Amino acid sequence: MENDWDKAISSLSKINVFSNPNNEPVTISGEADDLKCIGVGTDAAVFQSLSAPTYAFKIYAKDKIHKVKIEANVYQILEGSPFFSTCFASYDEFLVLSYEEGPTLFDCILQGIHIPEQVVNEVEDAREYVRNKGLNPRDIHLKNILLQNGRAKIIDVSEYTLQGNDFRWEHFKKGYEQYYHLIDGNPVPLWLVEKIRKRYNQRGKNASYEEFTKNILKLLYKN
C-alpha cells in the first residue's frame, strides 16, 4: 500500500548530506525541483516536498545515519505529546515527520517577533514530559523550537538518549529572563546573532553562564 509521502522518495534519493567538523552545519549535494530545504543542522537537513507538503523529510549525513533509528525510537516513546512533531516512518537515511509551521525562536530574534513567556514555560513542561518518559531532554536551542500560534513546538529529539546536560536551554532561559526585554520586538542583526552563537559554541567546558554573558556584554558595548 502506497503512503502519501512515497511520491517524494524518488526526489529525496537525489539529495546527499555531508557533515562538517567543528559542529558546523551540514553540506547538501544534489537537487530536485520539487524539494525545498527548510532546515539545516549539524547532523541532518530537513526538506519539504511540493508533492507531499504536509510532511518534512529529515535526511541525515552519510556518517550519521545510525541516528535515524535512534531518533525514530525517541519519537515513538514521545508519541501523543503536543510539544513534538510526529514521526510517521523511518528509512535508511531519513525520517518522515509532520511538517510544522511557524518561525523558529532563532528567526524570532532576527525578525523582532515577540517570544511569549508561555513558550518558555511550555518548553519547561515538555522537558519534564521527556524526563517522565525516561529520556534526557538535551540539545534544545533556538533553532529547534518553533513559535506555532503562540505555543511551543520542539522539532529535534535526536539527542534525548544521550547522557549529561549541555545546559543550552537553561542558559537561554536565564538570558530570556534577564535580558530579553531589552530586545523584545526589535530585530537583531544576523551577524551579531551568529557571532554570539559561535562564541557560545567555542566557550570552554568550564565557562560559567555569568562569565559568558559578561564577555557578550563587552562585545555589545564595543559594537
Q: What contacts 24+ positions apart, CB below 8 Å, involve 212-215?
A: 212/171, 213/175, 213/178, 213/179
How is the chain split into domains, by residue range? 4-98, 105-188
pLDDT above 70 for 65: yes
Is the model's pLDDT at 54 over the cut of 80?
yes
CATH of range 4-98; options 3.30.1340.10, 3.90.45.10, 3.40.1190.20, 3.30.200.20: 3.30.200.20
Query: Does the pLDDT of residue 16 top 80, yes or no?
Result: yes
Q: Kindly indicate the confidence band of residue 81, based on its pLDDT and cuts at 50, 70 and 90.
A: very high
Query: Is residue 220's pLDDT more than 70?
Result: no
DSSP 8-state assignment for residue 96:
E
Above 90 in pLDDT, residue 109? yes
Q: Which residues contact 157 (CB under 8 A, 6 or more apart)?
A: 71, 74, 75, 78, 84, 130, 135
Question: Taking the model in full, what pTM does it have?
Answer: 0.87
- Please tell me the least confidently modeled range out of 92-106, 113-127, 182-196: 182-196
C-alpha count within 13 angstroms, C-beta hemisphere, residue 141: 13
Residues in CB range of 218: below 8 A, 6 or more apart: none
* Phi, psi (rounded to 5 degrees) for 159: -105, 10
Give the pLDDT score at 200: 78
Q: Which residues, including other chains, have CB under 8 Å from residue 113's CB and lie 6 or more apart? A: 103, 107, 147
